[in-house]
Amino acid sequence: MNPDVDTPDRQTPVAATPAPATPAAADSAVHASHDVLIVGGGLVGASLAIALDRLGLDVGLVEAAPPGSLPAVFDERNLSFAEATVNALSALGVLAKLRAPTGSIRRIHISRRGDFGRAVLEAERYGREEFGRIVVARDFGEALEARLAELPRLQRYRPVRFVGLADGDPAWRAIRVADGAGERVLRARLLVAADGTRSGVRDALAIGADEYDYGQTLFVTRLRGERAPDGTAYERLGAEGPTALLPRGDRHYGLIHSVATAHVDAVAALDEAGFIARAQEAFGWRAGRFLACGARSLYPAIRVLARRTVERRAVLVGNAAQTIHPIGAQGFNLGLRDAMTLAELIERQLATGAAGGAVDCGADELLERYAQRRASDRERTVAFSDGAARLAANDSGLMRPLRSLGLFAVDRLPSAQSFLVGGAMGYRGDVPALCRGEHDGLRSFGGRA
């Protein structure tokens, strides 16, 4: 997402405040103050706003899209929600707002073109009906918007641009924003950067990021086959990257087809029949013949890792903190666990500090605990995603027998399967209680207490 903001929905329009000429002048004309200010109204930022709603905090959500429009991130991409994500979004009341059917992932089938063997993970074997669900990003965006509209305390600013940081009292983090009427200042005890891979907030905080280009572009589309999905999510690996086939809820598949950068223009120029033929060749015939596909969208596969996730009175979540290779569909699930961990820590801070007066959501010790709790999950998920992407794309003849042995081990050894299954379901590191389904008694989530 772009690092943008918006005019408030439940407050005097920010345009009523004259625009300051300089950052210093802006400090003397603070337009609004919040306990928590979230920059970015996409998947993770909106989910965090919902999670914080029942804590009784003053929360601001800074968004790029105007009222009545969804952010660009809510497109036709197919999101794979791990079980931990389903647990959290169900408790937050978001999944109940979905109007379109979702697809159940009951089985995961992994193979690589040119290698022997395959691995098949069955949810039933682990006492589950499913590993997770497939949701179209646009449908999810509409559900989030419907849930956000129900929140009585949330202050939404849209559409305005994030301009930069402003100096001021160290007990606050102030930012400059702008719309057509000029610039003004918002401030918060805690600033949350949820503004995506090219995070303007991260840059303004002077937090560096390390990038790695996998040399792949992902073609994403809806695909119709001669056989309807049966609950199997396929991950077919190849030298140009993975080709995934995901079981949507509308009797179509979600196709994610990786293409080497050198071939992107040629593939983008293919007509529907030509693209389907290429995807069929890369994937094979396990799901039958591919018949038709919808419009195609393109996304480069680039890993971007922030060198740290917290700063004074500021925290990075979701893609602002880490954007990873989509192999294994871990990105959004990891970002949601960022948001749910932060919400859980703030709630605990409120519970322990209730008798002593006001609670500081941006206190150093809270952010230190956040960074510590997220470290293991972040490191392990990034390592898995990066290692799998590099190993799968390595077309060396020496690698093929090793990969085949690896697939055989995953298919036959319970310990190897359990490692993959735990990660696929979203259970890595210190998992927040809401993701574990332990939300009873938490007054802050969905009114379930």
Residues 407, 399: contact at Cβ < 8 Å?
no
Q: Which residues contact 208 (CB under 8 A, 6 or more apart)?
A: 306, 307
pTM of the model: 0.88
Q: How much is the pLDDT for 276?
A: 97
| Containing structural domain, residue 168 | 4-100+133-210+304-385
Report residue 258 as tokens.
């990786």
Number of structural domains, the chain? Answer: 1
The verdict on residue 253 lying in a domain is no
Would you place residue 241 in the very low, low, confident or very high pLDDT band (cuts 50, 70, 90)?
A: confident
C-alpha 190/C-alpha 313 separation (Å) is 5
pLDDT band at 7 (very low <50, low <70, confident <90, very high): very low
DSSP state, residue 285: S
Contact (Cβ atoms closer than 8 angstroms) between residue 273 and residue 295: no
Average pLDDT score over the chain: 85
Q: What is the pLDDT of residues 67-121, one digit of tens each?
A: 888 888 888 889 999 999 999 999 999 999 999 999 999 999 988 876 666 788 8
**Higher pLDDT, residue 26 or 388:** 388
Q: If you average pLDDT over residues 356-383, what whole number do you get?
A: 90
Using pLDDT thresholds of 50, 70 and 90, give the confidence band for residue 330: confident
Q: What is the pLDDT of residue 409?
A: 55
Q: Which residues contact 55 (CB under 8 A, 6 or more apart)?
A: 343, 346, 347, 350, 444
Instruction: Indicate whether 279 belongs to any domain.
Output: no
What pLDDT shows up at residue 105? Answer: 96
Mean pLDDT of 57-75: 88
Q: 320 in helix, strand or coil? A: helix
Burial class of 271 by CB neighbour count within 10 A (0 to 12, 13 to 18, 19+): exposed
Identify the CA nearest to 250 among candidates 224, 284, 226: 224
Residue among 7, 14, 31 at smallest CA distance from 157? 7
25 in any annotated domain: yes
Whether 180 maps to a domain, the answer reads yes
In a domain, residue 152? The reply is yes
Task: Tell me the average pLDDT across 48-52.
Answer: 96
CATH number of the domain bearing residue 368: 3.50.50.60
Residue 366 is assigned to a structural domain of this protein: yes
Average pLDDT over residues 152-177: 92
In a domain, 289, yes or no: no
CA distance 293 to 377: 36
**Does a structural domain hold residue 66?**
yes
Pick 56 or 274 by higher pLDDT. 274
Element containing residue 222 per DSSP (H, E): strand 209-225
